A and B are shown apart, each in its own frame.
Chain A
Amino acid sequence: VIWMTQSPSLLSASTGDRVTISCRMSQGISSYLAWYQQKPGKAPELLIYAASTLQSGVPSRFSGSGSGTDFTLTISCLQSEDFATYYCQQYYSFPWTFGQGTKVEIK
């Protein structure tokens, strides 16, 4: 099993801030990493796959980087609609695993 450590679990920020979320793997996964956004009461939505490829329709203020064991999701200029919970997911090997989630809240 590939274990994931996502940090921070809670991030307080203001509109316009640049925020960064980290995801660290227990072993290398090349670039087999996705990021999802989830709002309360809703299903998750895909933001980024292959560590850095933006899903169609996702605003360019979202970006992903990293490979191997360390990955980062960056929101360059936080908007009101970005306050949500974010999850990373590895799909390098089964069982697929998700990070614990990062809740981005209004400061």
Chain B
Amino acid sequence: EVQLVESGGGLVKPGGSLRLSCAASGFTFSSYSMNWVRQAPGKGLEWVSSISSSSSYIYYADSVKGRFTISRDNAKNSLYLQMNSLRAEDTAVYYCAREDDSSGYIDYWGQGTLVTVSS
């Protein structure tokens, strides 16, 4: 069974940093591209970042470029999102998401972790 479990969310002040983690199990993690997608309270879905299976290709939404860094450790079956210079508008549930066969659509989602940026 595919499982994606996020951790690392919490309350942080504007300008602060946070590192999210996603522990993957039930599939060959090193064979799949992975993504972070977020959802602000009461709002729709927003794609944040994507990383290919070997970390060769990395993409970011303009809204986070230069502030967020996606990475992965295939030996640990883990995905990360380093978030710096956080803003109030980064407040959201952050989902770790598996991309089907590098095709672009998401076939599995984690349960999400809430990040709140507030003073």
User: Bound state CA distance, A101 and B42, in angstroms?
Assistant: 11
Inter-chain contacts of A38 with B (CB < 8 A): 45
Size category of the binding interface on chain A: 20 to 34
| A46 interface neighbour in B50, B61, B95, B106, Cβ under 8 Å | B106
> What total count of A-B pairs have CB within 8 Å?
56
Inter-chain contacts of B44 with A (CB < 8 A): 87, 98-101
Main secondary structure of the interface of A (DSSP, over half): loop
Q: Given that A87-B45, A98-B45, A101-B44 are known contacts, is A32 also in contact with B111, CB under 8 Å in the complex?
A: no
Binds A, one of B15-23, B77-85, B97-105: B97-105
Q: Give the interface of A toward B (CB within 8 A).
A: 32, 34, 36, 38, 42-46, 49-50, 55, 87, 89, 91-92, 94-101
Q: Give the interface of B toward A (CB within 8 A).
A: 44-47, 50, 59-62, 95, 100, 103-107, 109-112
Top 3 A-B residue pairs of the complex, sorted by shortest distance between their CB atoms: A91-B104, A43-B109, A34-B105
